[in-house]
Structure 1
């Protein structure tokens, strides 16, 4: 099976973009690794196993999702030139199907497993019935993409300045925490709209300039990003309007430069391979985390500091491996990581 065919079977409907530079999948691979690491730290923290990795929360939070959504927007321009019927069939239908399917699976799994967080707020079937109103906390990204694509399609004829200005205003408001009452999934969905829409409009420029990145650019950009993170951690400016947008732009620029450099190193091609399989990894990776956190919580043992330091990266690697194995074993069957009727996800005659 060719690489292109493998990507189509593992990530749902066939991609619309004609070309896919290696650094794009490398960036997606780096982002998904950071997502998995963040969730490993989060679940272990919910189980009361809070090690030194909790201090990485801000760097992970301000880097991974702006980069992830920007890369999603980078691949969207040709899809947005379709009529909405074809856009829905080719990009949105499979995402909504997988969101409902895996929200149900994850909720069932959470009900069956011992609770690892607040026992007064256990998993319930009601959360499945309300996933379009109160998005699933692990799968909100899958739900946000159809929302972003629909918004981008609806405003496509407006002046670009109006589109980006409106998206920036929305993301800035959510970034202040003023609407946190809506819940974390909606809060993050609003916060990252700007990065998706920005990528849609500057995709040609980014794809033309990104290959010029060198190691010196990576070092300089991450030095700037380290300063940005320090400001966010040690000053109260995090919730000032547009601050998170500015930090996200630095993160995206640094992430793209890093991805270009990494994509040139043969033995780091694992990130490119991961980037072509982000969907199954995203859907599966939390299952082993919930199990491990539950077991450790039930044991009640105090873990030594070296174990606390090594546990999140080890759990990250194990979760990635299990997700990739699940994709290898089950990805060939329609309806698990793709829409069950492939003909429905093709362009309408």
Structure 2
């Protein structure tokens, strides 16, 4: 689920673009840095956990996880967009038509298809919370105007890539400063739409900053040690607790500052964890972020509907463990669904091969990015 993977993988069956992260495959005998995939694996796990807590809290079964969920609000998406920006740095040098076909067309197609699938699935389910209808038919009409609350990320990536392409010849400080101000305005709710546009306004700065800072971060990575990670994690947790305790989230610049610190935490954790073979599963998850993102809410909403209909209650300890179990199951379900359906045209691929760019030029750009 990264911006660098609009057509994430050029080795698709039947000459179609498949949802795999080709940059993680060895290029000229050298694989992409493992820490990038670990960071993405951490981020997608936290996104899935966030939705697990959200849906279970809607039926009163998130236990002690419910109040903890907002604590990571500054961590999940800033890290995801930062890693996406790092992987997009080479792509924005392409002509726009080629950038669109190579990076954006698959994402826009999958966004439309999977918003429709999720909407129809929710309409078919009994209520999943006491707050109102699960979905509306208007969601199918307004998906590009009022982005999906579950799938807005893959809609944001083509928009962010377009902004990055339009500003590619500017002094990088200008777009970063402008989008930093935008992040402050949305973070403090001075600007507010009550839609995912607010989140896009908050996180665009991380995508653009990563395009500029990516090479510097990559040069810094070999020098990161475990004690760097421990220090930034401790500082981040302390500041987050203070921010929540004093209700500072709407104070201008607070969310932006804490989110920047969260990116430092995410990068340092990913670098250290990538050196430990016992955590290789996170690297694997990081190469499959898009199919996980597309599929993971289906078992969650189905379970929420069952729990809502049956009125099940659980002890606090069991309810606290349930989101973690649901998170794990949803990830495994998504990966299993992808393995089974990846070869079916139009589900995880574009149905028409000419919609994506599989030219030799595009492949060389992909390889250059992977080895950058």
Which interval holds the TM-score relative to the shorter structure? over 0.9
Match of 2:235 among 211, 224, 245: 224
- For 1:139 and 1:251, locate their aligned partners in 2 and report how far apart those are by CA, in whole Å: 22
Which residue does 1:284 correspond to in 2?
295
Which residue does 1:253 correspond to in 2?
264
Cα 1:275–1:10 change in 2 (3 A) is farther
TM-score, scaled to structure 1 = 0.94
SS at match of 1:192: helix
TM-score, scaled to structure 2 = 0.88
Which residue does 2:215 correspond to in 1?
204
Cα 1:302–1:13 change in 2 (3 A) is closer
Q: Displacement of 1:119 after TM fit?
A: 5.4
- For 1:317 and 1:105, locate their aligned partners in 2 and report how far apart those are by CA, in whole Å: 22
Q: Displacement of 1:160 after TM fit?
A: 1.4
SS at match of 2:88: coil
SS at match of 1:56: helix
Q: Displacement of 1:14 after TM fit?
A: 5.3
Which residue does 1:329 correspond to in 2?
340
Cα 1:6–1:219 change in 2 (3 A) is farther
SS at match of 1:75: helix
Which residue does 1:115 correspond to in 2?
127
Cα 1:5–1:267 change in 2 (3 A) is farther
Q: What is the RMSD computed on CA atoms of the aligned residues? A: 2.2
Which residue does 1:39 correspond to in 2?
51
Contact 1:218 1:258 in 2 (8 A): yes
Contact 2:10 2:22 in 1 (8 A): no
Contact 1:58 1:229 in 2 (8 A): no
Contact 1:279 1:337 in 2 (8 A): no
Which residue does 1:49 correspond to in 2?
61
> Quick check: 1:302 aligned with 2:309?
no
> Quick check: 1:142 aligned with 2:154?
yes
- For 1:87 and 1:6, locate their aligned partners in 2 and report how far apart those are by CA, in whole Å: 18
Alignment gaps of 5+ in structure 1: none
- For 1:16 and 1:223, locate their aligned partners in 2 and report how far apart those are by CA, in whole Å: 31
> Quick check: 1:243 aligned with 2:263?
no
Q: Which moved more, 1:232-241 or 1:76-85?
A: 232-241
- For 1:23 and 1:193, locate their aligned partners in 2 and report how far apart those are by CA, in whole Å: 22
SS at match of 1:33: helix
- For 2:212 and 2:131, locate their aligned partners in 1 and report how far apart those are by CA, in whole Å: 45
- For 2:84 and 2:119, locate their aligned partners in 1 and report how far apart those are by CA, in whole Å: 26
Q: Displacement of 1:50 after TM fit?
A: 3.7
Contact 1:71 1:199 in 2 (8 A): yes
Which residue does 1:160 correspond to in 2?
172
Cα 1:43–1:54 change in 2 (3 A) is same
Contact 1:98 1:337 in 2 (8 A): yes
Which residue does 1:317 correspond to in 2?
328
Match of 1:97 among 98, 103, 109: 109
Match of 1:187 among 169, 187, 198: 198
Which residue does 1:64 correspond to in 2?
76
Q: Displacement of 1:78 after TM fit?
A: 0.5
